[in-house]
Amino acid sequence: MTRRTYLYAMLLLAAIAVLAWLLWPRPPVPVAASLVAEAAAEDTTGFARVERPRPLVFPADQGPHEDFQTEWWYYTGNLTAETGEHFGYQLTFFRRALTSPAQRSERASAWAANQVYMAHFAITDVAGGTHHSFERFARGAAGLAGAQADPFRVWLEDWSVAQVPPSSSEFPQASRLLASSGDVSLDLTLRDLKGIILQGDRGYSRKGPKPGNASLYFSQTRIASEGAVTVRGKTYRVSGLSWMDREISTSALGPEQIGWDWFSLQLSDGSELMVYLMRRGDGGIDPFSSGTLIAPDGTTRQLTTEDIALQVTGRWRSPRTGGDYPAGWLLSVPSAGLRLTITPWLADQEMDVSLPYWEGAVKVAGAAGGREITGAGYVELAGYAKSMQGQF
């Protein structure tokens, strides 16, 4: 998934917000926003870069990589209540280094930090016709936010995903996902059904032609999920499937790349499809766009732009930001006999956060190899409300 430019902008905003908070009790948001808008470049000197494939080792690589500038843990999923209601959810944690490893020094204060964390939480309530989105920032100090590998845990205040003891030998590793804001909350137990999927070339995902313009990228594409969602003053018992994306990098998109469309789809035949298409300022699709087709047995096939055909079938305009988003797609992989119609559960699933984007639950219908197929997934659309170019 190519969220890099957006992420850098957001985590720069997080860094500014944390520093401003240290100096002023209640800094005005327009000041932070204007500082982000004026930030035209970033210093990546001294950080590790992803320049070639390297072995990924688990559980170590689920933990933080503070020698790299940026990383994230990205959870999305579709859930159905026992009473039939449908929900989508997103819980994402981002880490951003404020200084390179060579610039860091030991400081006695427990509040001292060279890492800042940001998190996004959202619930799509289809029956209620609403999309709830929330955002938080915290320094990686004093226990406010952080990540660890073994046992796995990533958190920002009381939002977290953490490894828990297995309930049976069938599921040797399980995690609990927790998030709440006001009267909206989520409590899920997650059990990976397929194992770690390496995206790109053995986990090496190139995003552009320059050396180091790449990430370490792996996913869990089929995670059994069950628990509770609370909205509209009511708690629903739910179950469904989740998807986890993990990327680690010190990199940035090229100045010609203004946004992207990202798809993660779980299909009824036990396969999954990930596609990201990076959009250029001239209206074209960047050749470093990519995808992965994951078979039911976990084997993968990397896709290029020549393998993927995407047609937009509808649009939705945000009344808040004016962003004109796609709102329906026909996605085909002809060489795999795959032809999918993708429809948002709700048109308005725009994330109402510092830099708005659209991220929402979708349903899928179509054919695979001439056989009828259904499914569900998530789509992310960045750069429609505001270009991602130059936002870091």
Say yes or no to pLDDT of 7 above 60.
no
Confidence class of residue 44 from pLDDT cuts 50, 70 and 90? confident
Please indicate, yes or no, if residue 387 is contained in any of the structural domains: no
Residue 59 Ramachandran class (φ > 0 left, ψ -120 to 50 alpha, else beta): alpha
Q: Give residue-wise pLDDT tens across range 169-211.
A: 555 679 999 999 999 999 999 999 999 999 999 989 888 777 7
Please indicate, yes or no, if residue 107 is contained in any of the structural domains: no
Residue 328 CA neighbour count, 13 Å, CB half: 9
Instruction: Judge contact between 144 and 151, C-beta under 8 A.
Output: no
Please indicate, yes or no, if residue 24 is contained in any of the structural domains: yes
Please indicate, yes or no, if residue 46 is contained in any of the structural domains: no
Please indicate, yes or no, if residue 167 is contained in any of the structural domains: yes
The arithmetic mean of pLDDT across residues 38-47, rounded, is 59
Q: Which helix (H) or strand (E) holds 280?
A: strand 272-280
Residue 295, SS3 per DSSP: coil
Query: What is the reported pLDDT for 312?
Result: 97
Query: What is the reported pLDDT for 59?
Result: 92
Q: Give residue-wise pLDDT tens across range 146-155.
A: 999 999 999 9
Say yes or no to pLDDT of 390 above 60.
no
Q: Could you give the C-alpha distances from 122 to 76, 285, 353, in angstroms and in order? A: 9, 29, 11
The arithmetic mean of pLDDT across residues 365-377, rounded, is 96
Q: At 166, which amino acid appears?
A: P
Please indicate, yes or no, if residue 50 is contained in any of the structural domains: no
The arithmetic mean of pLDDT across residues 336-348, rounded, is 97
Tell the residue number behind the tokens 């204007």, with chain if given.
34
Confidence class of residue 362 from pLDDT cuts 50, 70 and 90? very high
> Which of 371, 308, 375, 369 has the alpha carbon at shortest distance from 341?
375
Q: How far apart are the C-alpha atoms of 150 and 195, rounded to whole Å? A: 17
- pTM to 2 decimal places: 0.88
Q: Could you give the C-alpha distances from 128 to 123, 164, 171, 289, in angstroms and in order? A: 11, 32, 34, 36
Please indicate, yes or no, if residue 244 is contained in any of the structural domains: yes
Percent of the chain with pLDDT over 90: 64
What's the chain's average pLDDT? 86
CA dihedral angle for residue 269, residue 225, residue 146, residue 253, rounded to 10 degrees: 30
Strand 145-148 with 153-156, pairing: antiparallel
- For residue 343, what is the domain's CATH number? 2.40.370.10
Please indicate, yes or no, if residue 240 is contained in any of the structural domains: yes
Q: Give residue-wise pLDDT tens across range 263-309.
A: 999 999 999 999 999 888 888 888 888 999 999 999 999 999 999 99
Say yes or no to pLDDT of 241 above 90.
yes
Query: What is the reported pLDDT for 329?
Result: 98
**Between residues 62 and 257, which one has the greater pLDDT?**
62
Q: Give residue-wise pLDDT tens across range 65-96.
A: 989 999 999 999 999 999 999 999 999 999 99
Query: What is the reported pLDDT for 196?
Result: 96
Query: What is the reported pLDDT for 253?
Result: 64
Confidence class of residue 24 from pLDDT cuts 50, 70 and 90? very low
User: What range defines the domain where residue 361 resides?
Assistant: 4-40+58-100+112-382
Query: What is the reported pLDDT for 344?
Result: 98
Query: What is the reported pLDDT for 386?
Result: 62
Give the count of domains, the chain.
Answer: 1
